[in-house]
Structure 1
Amino acid sequence: MTRHGKNCTAGAVYTYHEKRKDTAASGYGTQRLRLGKDAIKDFDCCCLSLQTCQDPVMTPDGYLYEKQAILEYILHVKTDIAKQMKAYEKQKQKQKSSSQLESKSEERERVESFKTRENSIVSKPINPFTTGLTKGPEKSSTEEPSTSAPASTSSQSLPSFWIPSLTPEAKPTQIKKPSKTVLCPMSGRPIKMNELITVRFTPLDPSLTRTSLLTRQDRYVCAVTRDALGNSVPCAVLRPSGAVVTMECVEKLIKKDMLDPLTGDKLTDRDIIPMQRGGTGFAASGVDLSAKEARPVMMV
């Protein structure tokens, strides 16, 4: 197999790099890309603001948020749901009033049809002895349908597209009943304010200020073993104390007694929440970091 540069066009081999480059430029075909370290947020950053959390809270699914950001999000979603609910109730009331008008019009039509049927009844008694003698009217009555048939067909007119009353109209969009549950922006599961867990990170050096901590790469440590925390270290949060510990500490120390080492409270499997981390950009981090974009495909 011949060797040539990435952007060489004189070779007879269509390399994988050239194929990916042409696929990205053409706008067709599914494009896959693995995210690097620059595209991954740190483990202590908010999932909404992507900034380092000052007052971090965590959902039961393990996603970290800034308390102010997630509360503003929940309030915004509830306000939006209230607006949608108001529009739905207005539409429901409008449909109810229109159905009442339709029922009244149908009742009015039934009354009018009953009146016409009553008025068409002959009040004068028919003489049975004279009806059979006259055959002339019967012939005329039999001939009436044949003469009236072409008149009925000629009276029917086809609708015209250019008549404004016959042109199609756009019907109003039916609003569906909105759901009152607020969903997590990351996991898509229901989220409540009383289910948020306050997270307490243990700083590497308690004497350092917040500004000096942000400039360091290793900012926090495990609350029990004092191991440095980062995107490459799987972490967990203990629900009673909110302390952040490593999963190695959970497996080797905490799960033996199932007690919170900081508060002494009894723990269950539900109280140990694995933290969703971004990874490091390497395959060995154990996190799937591949992005996929489905685009139209040209059939050959």
Structure 2
Amino acid sequence: MPRHSKNNTASSVFTYHEVNSLNYGTKKQRLGRDSFKAFNACFLCLQVARDPVACQSGHLACKECLYESILTQKQEIQRQQRLTAQRQKDNDEQKVLEDEKAQLAILANFERTQTSVLPDDRRHSIAQSAESTHKSSPSGSRETSKDPNTPLGSLPAIGKFGSMRALFKQYCVLIRVDGHVIVESSPQLHAGAKRKFELNQEERQRAVDKEKEDALRKINEARTEEAKPKLPSFWLPSLTPNAGKSDEKDRQEKEQAVCVAGAPHPVTIKSLIPVKFTNEDEKSNHPICPACMKGLNNGMKISVFRKCGHVICNKCIDSFVKKSQVCYVCEKKFKDKDIIDISAEGTGFASNSNQLEAKRFGLSFQ
């Protein structure tokens, strides 16, 4: 073996041969005539279309192939709808379970708060202070003061009720007797008096919802904190992480069958157009234009009539068919919107081809 063949990749420059032989980055390839299907070929099986039909965009296919494609897509759509309904049901059940967990957390917190055990000295001090307060301020007591602005010593703390004056007027009654002001406590402050607490249904439901949201937030925070410190062994089947819920929001489901030739567009069985080619003779299967009797090929622009399905080249349509607004074969009337161009990939030359270069994307750097 010569020495050059051993060192053919040791050059100081990156040669064209080395670039093509290296499977790296985006690859491009010039397409030739053999890479394009025939104008009368099915875009699904790539063979000459048997019993051909066309969609509203002019894509030709076998009737059997296109029917099978539509049926398969409809079955897949129904399966996806069942999966979506099942996912929605699972989400609802999960939400119910989370609500139950939140309610259990609220009840556990309430029981823990109400049944907490206090030390003995703390419990005795609270009981003694309560007894002394009850003995020093009997119900129905009266206090006299020379200053009319002197408030009661046992007024409740000022919160959201307003100023001291408003609170004083609400809970006290002033009586003048012989130049002295007698401050009489309101029946609302009497020992053993019960005040009515009114709470409507909306406020009650709002409070319950707020407490439930707080409990759910605490549960989620605890779950997040528990998952942070450790990374599970994701290679084990039992610890495989699940997909997030964000993936379900981005998922878009198809609502109807589409034609996959070119840009996807909706297609139905009723909208398909039966295509009728005119052959050169009974023995030959090569289609021709019935007007100019020229053979059809990938380099010609041809169209099909929506109402009758006959195929004529665009040159004949522009010359005399559009003027008469009548089909050349069956003499059926049509409009300009009934003329549909049949999609053809081309011949491989720049003037008659839609795509001349194939490209396969490859990530260069990662």
TM-score scaled by length of structure 1: 0.71
In structure 2, how many angstroms separate the alpha carbons of the residues matched to 1:158 and 1:183?
43
Deviation at 1:76, TM superposition (A): 1.1
1:37-186 → structure 2 map (5 Å cutoff): 37-119=33-115, 125-127=127-129, 161=230, 169-172=240-243, 175=248, 176=251, 178-186=253-261
Instruction: Tell me which residue corresponds to 1:25.
Output: 21
The range that moved more, 290-299 or 102-111, is: 290-299
Cα distance in structure 2, aligned partners of 1:58 and 1:242: 9
* Correspondence 1:186-265 to 2 at 5 A: 186-187=261-262, 188-205=264-281, 207-208=282-283, 212-213=284-285, 219-265=286-332
Tell me if 1:282 matches 2:352.
Answer: no
Question: Match of 1:179, SS?
Answer: coil
Whether the 8 Å contact between 1:28 and 1:298 is mirrored in structure 2 is no
Aligned CA distance change for structure 1 residues 113 and 260 (closer, same or farther; 3 Å): same
Shift of 1:43: 0.8
> Which secondary structure state, in structure 1, belongs to the residue aligned with residue 359 of structure 2?
strand
**In structure 1, what is the equivalent of residue 167 of structure 2?**
none
> Per the alignment, do residues 117 and 66 of structure 1 end up closer, same or farther by CA in structure 2, a change over 3 Å counting?
same
Preserved CA contact (<8 Å) 1:85 1:177:
no
Amino acid at match of 1:185: V
Q: Give 1:98 shift.
A: 1.3
Distance 2:301 2:257 in 1: 28
1:204 positional shift: 0.5
What CA distance in whole angstroms lies between the structure 1 residues aligned with 2:103 and 2:227? 30
| Deviation for aligned residue 1:294 | 2.6
The residue identity in structure 1 corresponding to 2:129 is N
- Which whole-Å CA distance do the structure 2 matches of 1:261 and 1:50 have between them? 30
The 3 A distance-change label for structure 1 pair 91 and 266 is: same
Whole-angstrom CA distance in 2 between matches of 1:112 and 1:160: 27
Deviations 1:222-255 (A, max 9, x none): 1323221111111111111101100101211122
C-alpha distance in structure 2 between counterparts of 1:33 and 1:252, whole Å: 39
| Structure 1 runs not aligned, ≥5 long | 1-8, 132-156, 214-218
Is there any run of 5+ residues in structure 2 with no aligned partner, and where? 1-7, 134-225
SS at match of 2:265: coil
TM-score by length of 2: 0.59
Change (3 A) 1:297 1:94: closer
Return the index of the structure with the highest Cα Rg.
2
For 2:73 and 2:92, the matched residues in 1 are separated by: 28
What secondary structure is seen at the aligned counterpart in 2 of 1:194? coil
Whole-angstrom CA distance in 2 between matches of 1:69 and 1:117: 71
Q: 1:102 to 1:29 in 2, by over 3 A?
A: closer
Q: Which residue of 2 aligns with 1:138?
A: none
Name the CA distance, whole Å, in 2 between partners of 1:91 and 1:158: 24
**Corresponding residue SS for 2:296:** coil
Deviations 1:142-191 (A, max 9, x none): xxxxxxxxxxxxxxx99874999xx9650146554622222211121111
Q: How many residues align?
A: 249
Q: Secondary structure at the match of 2:266?
A: coil
Do the aligned partners of residues 202 and 102 (structure 1) sit closer, same or farther apart at CA in structure 2, a change above 3 Å counting?
same
Distance 1:127 1:295, change over 3 A: closer
Contact 1:240 1:263 in 2 (8 A): no
Q: Distance in 1 between matches of 2:33 and 2:63?
A: 26
SS in structure 2 of the partner of residue 252 of structure 1: helix
Taking only the aligned residue pairs, the percentage that are identical comes to: 25
Which residue identity is paired with 2:261? M
The change in CA–CA distance for 1:163 and 1:74 in structure 2 (over 3 A counts) is closer
Q: CA deviation at 1:280?
A: 1.5
CA contact (8 A) 1:184 1:191 kept: yes
